[in-house]
Amino acid sequence: MASSDHMRDFVRLALEQGHDRDAIARALAEAGWSAAEIQAAQAGWAKPAGMPPVPRPQPYVSAREAVFFGLMFAALAMVAWNLVQLGFALIDVAIPDPTDLYPRDRGSMRWPMAALLGFLPLFLYLDRRTVRTVPRGAGGRESALRRLFAAVTLLIALLTLMGDLVTSIYALLSGGLTLRFLARAVLVAVVAGLVLAYYRTDLDG
């Protein structure tokens, strides 16, 4: 039996004996368990009045959802990447660089547009399926894979924002912060911010 199972059983037994959650938390803390472990163990049990402790649904993992959320993650990555590429192309056309020997033509927009037309409907469909299957804020069983992919996506988005900020600061210090560069940096920040706003609620709680 894993250590976490021992703690989970202790919480169940203590609740059955009528101990309050604060006393249980103090006892576990004195035994060396961390606050996060204590919170997770107590969250696994509900104590209705007049009833023994009732186990709450636990996060689960399935191969089917691994494929589902993996595809959704890939679709979102393609949408974000090609949205940025399309935005870069539009910025290059709107704000041309007079020193550019090979300016970007409108034909360079075809590939990101094609990718968006292919992957954006796929992402929206998968997102809709996710909302129907596991609504945000529902009290049912929660997919551990969903939280994992959300965490990875948020990490990448945060690193992108930090890289965008550092690159912009470097351009400012080196005198290369042009209007064209600034427009690109803002576009990257907006796309990364939208991803952060979308997935942030998946890690709440």
Greater confidence (50 vs 15) lies with 15
> Higher-confidence residue: 85 or 55?
85
Q: What are 64-105's pLDDT values in tens digits? A: 778 888 899 999 999 999 999 999 989 988 888 766 666 666
pTM of the predicted model as reported, rounded to 2 decimal places? 0.66
- Return the closest-CA partner of residue 110 out of 134, 137, 135, 90: 90
pLDDT in tens, 125-184: 988 887 655 544 444 445 677 778 888 899 999 999 999 999 999 999 998 889 999 999
- Give φ, ψ of 189 to 5 degrees: -65, -40
Whole-angstrom Cα distance, residue 55 to residue 42?
Answer: 10
Helices (H), the chain: 3-16, 21-30, 35-43, 63-94, 110-133, 144-174, 179-199
Interacting residues of 98 by C-beta distance below 8 A, sequence separation 6+: none
- Quick one: which of 152, 155, 160, 178 has its CA closest to 83? 160
pLDDT computed for residue 140 by the predictor = 41
More confident residue, 101 or 199: 199
Pairwise CA distance, residues 112 & 87, whole Å = 9
